[in-house]
Structure 1
Amino acid sequence: MKFAYFVRPHIGGTYTVFKQLREGLAPYGIEVCWMSMGQTEALKDPEWFPEFALGTSVSTDGLANERDQARALAAAIEEGGFDGVFINVLSDRIQTNIARYLPEAITRIMIVHNITAGTYAAAVAVRDHVHAAIGVSDRIQSDLVRTMGFDADNTFAIPHAAETRLSRLLNRTPRATEPLRLVFLGRVEDASKGVFWLADILDHLDASIHLTVAGDGPDLQAMKLKLARHGKRVTFLGAVHPKEVHRVLLHQDVMIMPSRFEGFGLTLTEAMAVGCIPVVSRIRGVTDTIIDDGINGFLFQIGNSAEAARLITGIAANPEGAQLLSSAARDKAEHVFTLDAMARRYAEVIRNITAAPPEIAPPLDFADWSFPKGLRPGLRTYIPTPIKNWLRVMRERT
């Protein structure tokens, strides 16, 4: 079998998941290739040239309207001999909406990566045109079934895998009296990742504790301004290529993740795989299913910078306890979030829905191409970001 996974090569979790699925499903006789639309800057970088062989970018040159672009995407799926597609909900409007227009013979599996209202609305918009839905955490699977009307028999929770094979080759030197090394790894964006709270967290920490920011994003410059008062206590690495992530984390002691919302938290398991202790916002059904609080990491209330700092200070003051936390984090990553477990679950879903395809809505005609509610801008588009952020925090604290 052959599946297209809608993503373009980039530094980010969605492409990392593609690489995991491509490798993990190959032993099951399932080939997974990436597919995107238009040009991608990554493919102009020699470092990404090896990715050419793993997928294709559908040309949209001369295709001014979205309907024609969607037709080109559908044609590429047919001409490529694909049996099915993985649709990453809301990563791209056309690639999400294409689920409603593909021929009946194409198996469609929706992957929902986040817990936001916008993501859920987009999932509902194409719900009746997919054979299965996969939430990357228990929270997402539960929300889809309990509040979004998804069929429980064809809606699954499959967490991402942590890359542990390389981490086993990398030995962490136990910290003794050296100052604690703190790292943030991920997209530098405040609405979801809560990166502006990093400055407040440092305010509550001993001046010897150093923060490394590994990542890029739309709020990088604004965050640098907020962190400027901490001077040389902060180092900015910029975007880190996936093959370098483990080596960066290996030289850090604690990973801080002050997110307002997450669908899973792939960087969290990557940190655990090398024994970097996670100190993370408590997000119900997401981070609390990854971290056993006080055993292999710590959870703190979203937005509570003082609590996060208190937990980090406790780790710094107790090197022996930190070593136990580090070992426990690594152990859980190696035994729970494995590529084999992830691939086996995906293979089971594919095998079951292809053997007995669930009844779904008939495909729509491209002549009637349109975006349904949920894939069109709604009222939430016009809500000011500070109000959105406040509402997100209040939702998670209730």
Structure 2
Amino acid sequence: MKIAFVVPHLMSGGVETFVLRLGDYFVKQGCSVDLLATEKEGDWFNLAISRGMVVKCLPVEKSFAPVIHAIRVGRWLRSGAYDAIILNHAKYAQAAIQLLPSNTVVVPVIHNDDKEVYRVACANRQACNFLVGVSRRVCKAVKAHFPETPIYEIWHGVEAPKTNSRLKRLEGEPLKLIYVGRVQHHQKGVFYLVDIVKGCIKEGIKVELTVVGEGGDLEALQSRVRESGLESIVKLVGSRSYEAVLRCLSRHHVLLMPSHYEGFGLVAIEAQAAGCVPVANYIADVTDVTIAHGISGFLVEDNEINQYVSLIKELYDDTDQWLKMSSAAMSRVEGLFSIEKMGEAYLDLLEAERECTYVRNKRLALEWQLLGWRAFVPQFLRSAREYLTMAQKKLFRIKP
């Protein structure tokens, strides 16, 4: 089977991690796998190439206008003669599905519980074979708005650590906390991290926190750390490579995940696979599925800071409890969230759908509502407008 994964870019993140893992599995099953970026390459482009995948990019700035780019992407995908195309928040490809042949299986994957993600994935849904949601919450949201749309729930999978490099837990030593993800409060709740550490110190709990990631609230978080006098305890280390993040998780005791919303929360699974016990915000049909409360980790109601501190204190005071939960976390991930389970589920659906005939509109048609009227504005005018806006802000010292 010839399969294409389509992404807007290859930046470090949960979507790209999913694509690499599932792509690896397909290759091992004898499939031909192409990884296509429709907007720009991104910093994981070479990583995908090093894993033996055929990686291509069709930069958006090379097209005269976004609407022309969508047509180019559609023709690009059609020329690949793919048996299946898996879309991952790639709006130009999503808009051009009807340009594909009727024997190509088209599957958008919904990775996050976010309005824009739903808007892109469900656009042109009448031309898709089916949708995949990464969690029960995502599937319920789609069914509530589009009950006629076929959608399947398939959890992400992670690989087990190659060696048992789990960190030891010695009584009386600082509890090593870690946060991994975008440094953004709106979704990820990163400002709670400082309050959690302050609460732990107040209760006499020795902790160290490592923050891995970058984002729009990085500077604000750094300011909060400085103002609280926590520079020696809270380390913001920026982004790390895929392999480095997995090593970081295995060297910490507790993952903090104070997200307001998630599609799946992949980092919670990666942490448990490494023996790092998650303490996360309760998100119905997401974290209560990925984390077994009191067994493989803890869930906090409404990001209540005192609950975070109380649960961290339990793990700090009782070394045996942390060790027991760490072992349970590793076993649970191996049993429920393996790459093999994820890969088998996708392959079974793709193989079954190939036996069906799916009729698409043969005429040259795009999903205009997804692109919007700005898609007709030529790229050079869009670039000129952005340049003038930046120059104006700099001239008048207007903050973005």
Interval of TM-score (by shorter of Structure 1 and Structure 2)? 0.7 to 0.9
Identity across the alignment (%)? 25
Residue 24, structure 1, aligned to residue 20, structure 2: no
Residue 170, structure 1, aligned to residue 165, structure 2: yes
Q: For residues 62 and 277 of structure 1, do their structure 2 counterparts lie closer, same or farther at Cα, with a shift above 3 Å needed?
A: closer
> SS of the residue aligned with 2:108?
strand
Equivalent of 1:218 in 216, 219, 229: 216
- Residue of structure 2 in register with 1:158 after alignment: 154
Letter in structure 2 aligned against 1:205: C
- Residue of structure 2 in register with 1:384 after alignment: none
Distance 1:215 1:76 in 2: 34
Distance 2:314 2:94 in 1: 45
Residue 261, structure 1, aligned to residue 261, structure 2: yes
Distance 2:14 2:373 in 1: 25
- Residue of structure 1 in register with 2:294 after alignment: 294
Residue 236, structure 1, aligned to residue 240, structure 2: no
State the shift of 1:116 in Å: 2.0
Letter in structure 1 aligned against 2:172: T
- After superposition, the C-alpha distances for 1:241-269 in whole angstroms (9 at most, x for unaligned) are 11112211111100000000000011111
- After superposition, the C-alpha distances for 1:291-331 in whole angstroms (9 at most, x for unaligned) are 11001100011331221121112111111111111111111
Q: For residues 85 and 376 of structure 1, do their structure 2 counterparts lie closer, same or farther at Cα, with a shift above 3 Å needed?
A: farther
1:121 touches 1:374 (CA, 8 Å); kept in 2? no
Number of residue pairs matched by the alignment: 368
1:36 touches 1:57 (CA, 8 Å); kept in 2? yes
Equivalent of 1:182 in 171, 177, 185: 177
State the shift of 1:225 in Å: 1.2
Distance 1:142 1:35 in 2: 29
- After superposition, the C-alpha distances for 1:148-189 in whole angstroms (9 at most, x for unaligned) are 3244xx3111110122142x4424323322111110011111
1:259 touches 1:302 (CA, 8 Å); kept in 2? no
State the shift of 1:137 in Å: 0.9
Q: For residues 144 and 61 of structure 1, do their structure 2 counterparts lie closer, same or farther at Cα, with a shift above 3 Å needed?
A: closer
- Residue of structure 2 in register with 1:391 after alignment: none
> SS of the residue aligned with 1:302?
helix
Q: For residues 375 and 265 of structure 1, do their structure 2 counterparts lie closer, same or farther at Cα, with a shift above 3 Å needed?
A: farther
Q: For residues 23 and 11 of structure 1, do their structure 2 counterparts lie closer, same or farther at Cα, with a shift above 3 Å needed?
A: same
Distance 1:142 1:370 in 2: 24
Residue 362, structure 1, aligned to residue 358, structure 2: no
2:182 touches 2:213 (CA, 8 Å); kept in 1? yes
- Residue of structure 2 in register with 1:68 after alignment: 68
Q: For residues 373 and 171 of structure 1, do their structure 2 counterparts lie closer, same or farther at Cα, with a shift above 3 Å needed?
A: closer
- Residue of structure 2 in register with 1:121 after alignment: 119
State the shift of 1:190 in Å: 1.3
1:42 touches 1:48 (CA, 8 Å); kept in 2? no
Distance 1:320 1:375 in 2: 57
Q: For residues 246 and 95 of structure 1, do their structure 2 counterparts lie closer, same or farther at Cα, with a shift above 3 Å needed?
A: same
Where structure 1 has 5 or more consecutive residues not aligned to the other structure, the ranges are 378-398
Distance 2:284 2:44 in 1: 37
1:189 touches 1:217 (CA, 8 Å); kept in 2? yes
State the shift of 1:333 in Å: 1.1
- Residue of structure 1 in register with 2:3 after alignment: 3
- Residue of structure 2 in register with 1:316 after alignment: 316
Letter in structure 2 aligned against 1:158: I
1:110 touches 1:134 (CA, 8 Å); kept in 2? yes
Distance 1:290 1:43 in 2: 26
Letter in structure 2 aligned against 1:199: V
- After superposition, the C-alpha distances for 1:5-42 in whole angstroms (9 at most, x for unaligned) are 11232211111111111121234443332101244242
> 5 Å matches for 1:242-391?
242-357=242-357, 359=358, 362=361, 365-366=364-365, 369-372=366-369
Distance 1:299 1:208 in 2: 21
